[in-house]
């Protein structure tokens, strides 16, 4: 009997994936593999914690501390890098780059943590390379005493390093809010942190204000902590509302401007400080590009003059140039004016949080309170143990001879301590302390001198207990520490504050060269701007095959232009935006120059339009409808380049007329029928996208459409005024005469 083959069922892709063990759902992969990596980058690498350090900074500084580099001579940077690898296994170059940023020589911090010798590059230059670690030397700056105070007194938790061979601090017990004093930038996975620096003295004062009055509002903090203070100096443009937003939310831009002086003797501008967020290379590139494009005709030369005396960038001016106006132009078009993007993301309790300035200071106060509590408890335990031992020592004062006799008559060494415990009624620790006293110290004078410390110890212990039990005393202690730090390390602001109301906005019109020229505009959207001098040499114009001239007129280089397109959009431009052409050129292609959308074409161009309510523009559509819209509907705020939905898109546009008078214009349809009407009989609509839903200008039969709208019809159609004129709409077209000059 033949076997019947069972038809094999075809598996779907989903069935195949579910049945095959090598496949893993993407959600499971992200959860088990990607998320731990992302969290690790956030917490263990890129985002700073409340002490103001990233792990790489902390590991390096702690290594230098354990190397004894708080005091004494500098050592080679290579030695520091090598030792740091016991805590940070990510490679010697990454460790050295971390150290470079913390040095005095790099100028990246208001208060550097590393006292350096040698070339460490500069924060304001990305190309100024630092020397190799074998050539440079470093040690900890004395300022580091404020970040390590109490670290040997259990002020912070100590954790295992990456291979569990040694210990390192989880955080550093900074005695001031370093998180707001040292600038910090970091990019994690899906998260970034960008914390600007503030003046140390102002930060201390703001923290003291919160300690004294926890309900201190943001306005008071802003009066104390005026604005960010950057290591590179420059000027911060003070907009109180914008600063308040940054202080409240921890996010927003801070606008910075370079500092400059005008050297009248050399007719040059010397830029002495630049925004922290840019570099000398970025500034040089922008100025070079503008110079090559002919946009900086006011200058003759520029150069980087950075030397051992510091930063300097010099710009030589052409005779007659106004230096202030030139700087306004450079501020607008180069990074000499730049934004620092604040994004105060901080790791709090193992998780990233975006905090405002007050929230950061409150979190730091909590952290600092924990550090001091641990430190005081360490001191309390140590002093209590010492007091306990001295109290035991005091008991042998009553009979020193007895103590000597007990020790002398005890036959076995391990019985000395038990015998002393019995003889003087002391515990084991006290007995061991007594037993360890040298024979020469078993005299009344030595013991009395030691016992004199008991009263002082009792007072210190009680003082620490009071401090730990009283929140106000703890706050007073922190206030005193912050006041001392401010007095010892406080510096004047490096970044000047300029009120935004004092800033002059750049007027582009001043910089535009004014001259007359001849404008040529074609049907296909090509524009030529030709000087009168150039026209004298060659007046025969070249155009693209199939293209034709539709407008020729005299213009000024400062004239404004608008372009309505067939995609219902309006583009704004200036005559100065277009380069000069020659008669032999095709001209500038407007859709490319103004970045039109694909296949978008010019439907109408107007020079120096008026945006008043009494000025109107007429739109005539292929379906026969027409509408008049006041030009005030197209007035925009600021330097806007494009306006969408300039008119209705229900039907294609057939023609656009900028209404200069109530003179007749002609509408022609696909059946060669025409009407002649005045603009005044077309209703005015107050919205741009109106299509004249109730008003047809021309009656059309099925499949008919408007093909032309003309204002210059008299030469072509001499019979128009007598034959096609209409006084009402909608109007039916009149068949055009065969003799018309079409």
The phi-psi region of residue 137 (left if phi > 0; otherwise alpha if psi is between -120 and 50; otherwise beta) is beta
CATH of the domain at 715: 2.120.10.90
Per-residue tokens: 512:
């535009």
| 538 and 636 within one domain | no
Output the pLDDT for position 39.
Answer: 65
pTM value is 0.73
Final residue belonging to a domain, choices 474, 489, 504: 489
| 603 and 625 within one domain | no
Is residue 360 in a domain? no
Task: Encode 570-603: b = buried (16+ Cβ within 10 Å), e = exposed.
Answer: bbbbebbebeebebeeebbebbebbebeeebebb
Q: What share of the chain is helix, strand, coil (3-state, %, to 5)?
A: 35, 20, 40
| 630 and 742 within one domain | yes
Q: Which of 114, 70, 89, 96 is nearest to 168 (CA)?
A: 89
pLDDT greater at residue 367 or residue 509? 367
CATH of the domain at 162: 3.90.199.10
pLDDT digits (tens, 9 = 90+) for 7-28: 555 555 556 555 656 666 777 7
| 519 and 418 within one domain | no
pLDDT for 128 beyond 70: yes
How would residue 2 be classed by pLDDT, with cut points 50, 70 and 90?
very low
How would residue 188 be classed by pLDDT, with cut points 50, 70 and 90?
confident
| 479 and 382 within one domain | yes
Is residue 518 in a domain? yes
Final residue belonging to a domain, choices 315, 335, 355: 335
Is residue 7 in a domain? no
| 168 and 63 within one domain | yes
Q: Please give the Cα distance from 241 to 264 (Å, whole number).
A: 37
Is residue 564 in a domain? yes
CATH of the domain at 311: 3.30.1360.40
Q: Please give the Cα distance from 55 to 350 (Å, whole number).
A: 13
pLDDT digits (tens, 9 = 90+) for 503-533: 877 766 666 777 899 999 999 999 999 988 8
Output the pLDDT for position 401.
Answer: 84
Output the pLDDT for position 692.
Answer: 52
Number of folded domains that form the chain: 5
Q: What percent of the chain has pLDDT over 70?
A: 92
Q: Please give the Cα distance from 552 to 522 (Å, whole number).
A: 9
Average pLDDT value for the chain: 89
Instruction: Identify whether 135 is a catalytic site residue.
Output: yes
**140 contacts: CB under 8 Å, gap ≥ 6:** 61, 64, 65, 69, 70, 113, 114, 115
Output the pLDDT for position 141.
Answer: 96
| 725 and 649 within one domain | yes
Domain span holding position 138: 53-173
| 70 and 143 within one domain | yes
pLDDT for 214 beyond 80: yes
Lowest mean pLDDT among 31-45, 409-423, 658-672: 31-45
Is residue 359 in a domain? no
Output the pLDDT for position 91.
Answer: 86
In three-state secondary structure terms, 337 is: strand
Is residue 214 in a domain? no
| 534 and 455 within one domain | no
Is residue 457 in a domain? yes
Final residue belonging to a domain, choices 582, 608, 634: 608
Q: Please give the Cα distance from 571 to 125 (Å, whole number).
A: 40
Q: What percent of the chain has pLDDT over 90?
A: 63
Structure-token match 């509302």, residue found: 241
Candidate list 16, 34, 37, 135, residue with the active-site label: 135
How would residue 537 be classed by pLDDT, with cut points 50, 70 and 90?
low
Question: Does residue 53 contact residue 102 with C-beta atoms inside 8 Å?
Answer: no
Provide the 8-state DSSP code for 62: H
| 732 and 622 within one domain | yes
Q: What is the mean pLDDT of residues 663-691?
A: 88
pLDDT for 359 beyond 70: yes
| 619 and 599 within one domain | no
pLDDT for 599 beyond 80: yes
CATH of the domain at 399: 1.10.268.10
Q: Please give the Cα distance from 737 to 540 (Å, whole number).
A: 35
Taking each helix axis from N to C end, the angle separating 92-102 and 55-66, rounded to the nearest 10 degrees, works out to 80
Q: Please give the Cα distance from 16 to 22 (Å, whole number).
A: 11
Is residue 720 in a domain? yes
pLDDT for 691 beyond 80: no
In three-state secondary structure terms, 693 is: coil
- The secondary structure of 188-254 as a DSSP string is -SS-EEEE----HHHHHHHHHHHHH-TT--HHHHHHHS-S---TT--EEEE-HHHHHHHHHHSEEEE
How would residue 43 be classed by pLDDT, with cut points 50, 70 and 90?
low
Q: What is the mean pLDDT of residues 420-436?
A: 88
Q: What is the mean pLDDT of residues 213-226?
A: 93
pLDDT digits (tens, 9 = 90+) for 62-105: 999 999 999 889 999 999 999 999 998 888 999 999 999 999 99
Q: In which order are the strands placed within the sheet that holds 616-621?
A: 626-630, 616-621, 653-658
Chain-centroid distance, C-alpha 207: 25
Q: What is the largest CA-CA distance in the chain?
A: 149
Output the pLDDT for position 281.
Answer: 94
| 268 and 169 within one domain | no
How would residue 223 be classed by pLDDT, with cut points 50, 70 and 90?
very high
Q: Please give the Cα distance from 643 to 639 (Å, whole number).
A: 11
């Amino acid at each position: 009997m033949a076997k019947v083959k069972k038809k094999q069922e075809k598996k779907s892709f989903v069935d195949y994936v579910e049945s095959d063990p090598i496949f893993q759902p993407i959600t499971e992969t992200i959860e088990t593999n990607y998320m731990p990596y992302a969290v690790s980058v956030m917490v263990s690498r890129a985002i700073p914690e409340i002490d103001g350090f990233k792990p790489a900074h902390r590991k390096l500084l702690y290594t230098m501390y354990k190397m004894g580099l708080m005091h004494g001579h500098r050592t080679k940077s290579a030695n520091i890098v090598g030792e740091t690898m016991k805590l940070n296994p990510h490679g010697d170059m990454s460790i050295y780059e971390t150290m470079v940023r913390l040095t005095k020589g790099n100028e990246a911090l208001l208060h550097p943590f590393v006292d350096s010798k040698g070339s460490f590059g500069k924060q304001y230059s990305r190309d100024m390379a630092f020397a190799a670690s074998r050539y440079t030397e470093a040690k900890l700056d004395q300022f580091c005493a404020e970040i390590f105070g109490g670290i040997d007194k259990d002020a912070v938790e100590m954790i295992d390093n990456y291979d569990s061979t040694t210990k390192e601090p989880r955080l550093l017990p900074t005695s001031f809010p370093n998180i707001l004093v040292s600038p910090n930038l970091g990019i994690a996975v899906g998260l970034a942190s960008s914390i600007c620096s503030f003046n140390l003295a102002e930060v201390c004062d703001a923290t003291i204000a919160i300690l004294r009055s926890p309900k201190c509002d943001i306005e008071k903090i802003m009066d104390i902590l005026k604005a960010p203070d950057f290591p590179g100096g420059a000027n911060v443009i003070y907009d109180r509302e914008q600063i308040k937003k940054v202080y409240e939310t921890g996010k927003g831009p801070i606008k910075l401007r370079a500092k400059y002086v005008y050297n009248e003797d050399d007719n040059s501008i010397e830029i002495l400080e630049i925004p922290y967020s840019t570099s000398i290379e970025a500034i040089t590139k922008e100025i070079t590009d503008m110079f090559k494009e002919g946009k900086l005709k006011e200058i003759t030369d520029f150069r980087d003059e950075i030397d051992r005396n510091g930063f300097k960038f010099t710009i030589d001016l052409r005779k007659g140039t106004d230096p202030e106006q030139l700087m306004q132009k450079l501020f607008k078009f180069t990074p000499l004016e730049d934004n620092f993007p604040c994004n105060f993301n901080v790791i709090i309790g193992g998780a990233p949080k975006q905090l405002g300035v007050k929230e950061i200071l409150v979190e730091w106060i909590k952290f600092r309170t924990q550090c001091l509590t641990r430190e005081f408890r360490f001191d309390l335990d140590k002093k209590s143990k010492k007091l306990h031992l001295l109290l035991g020592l005091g008991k042998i004062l009553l009979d020193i001879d007895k103590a000597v006799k007990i020790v002398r008559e005890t036959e076995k060494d391990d019985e000395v301590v038990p015998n002393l415990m019995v003889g003087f009624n002391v515990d084991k620790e006290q007995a061991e302390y007594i037993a360890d006293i040298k024979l020469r110290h078993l005299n009344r004078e030595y013991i009395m001198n030691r016992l004199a410390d008991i009263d002082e110890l009792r007072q210190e212990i009680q003082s620490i207990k009071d401090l730990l039990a009283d929140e106000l005393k703890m706050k007073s202690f922190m206030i005193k520490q912050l006041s001392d730090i401010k007095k010892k390390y406080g510096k004047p602001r490096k970044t000047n504050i300029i009120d935004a109301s004092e800033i002059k906005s750049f007027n582009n019109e001043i910089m535009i060269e004014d001259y007359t020229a001849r404008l040529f505009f074609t049907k296909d959207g090509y524009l030529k701007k030709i000087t009168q001098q150039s026209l004298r040499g060659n007046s025969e114009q070249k155009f693209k095959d199939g293209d034709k001239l539709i407008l020729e007129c005299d213009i000024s280089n400062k004239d404004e232009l608008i372009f309505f397109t067939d995609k219902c959009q309006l583009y704004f431009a200036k005559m100065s935006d277009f380069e000069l052409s020659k008669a032999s050129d095709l001209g500038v292609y407007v859709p490319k120059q103004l970045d039109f959308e694909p296949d978008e074409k010019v439907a109408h161009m107007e020079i120096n339009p008026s945006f008043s309510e009494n000025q109107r523009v007429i739109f005539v559509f292929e379906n026969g409808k027409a509408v008049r819209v006041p030009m005030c509907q197209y007035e925009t705020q600021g330097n806007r380049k494009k306006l969408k939905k300039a008119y209705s898109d229900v039907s294609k546009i057939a023609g656009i007329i900028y209404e200069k008078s109530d003179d007749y214009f002609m509408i022609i349809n696909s059946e060669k029928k025409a009407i002649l009407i005045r603009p005044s009989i077309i209703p005015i609509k107050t919205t741009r996208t109106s299509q004249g839903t109730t008003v047809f200008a021309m009656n059309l039969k099925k499949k008919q459409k408007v093909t032309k709208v003309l204002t210059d019809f008299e030469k072509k159609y001499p019979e128009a005024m007598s034959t096609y004129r209409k006084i009402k709409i909608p109007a039916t077209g009149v068949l055009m005469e065969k003799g018309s000059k079409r």
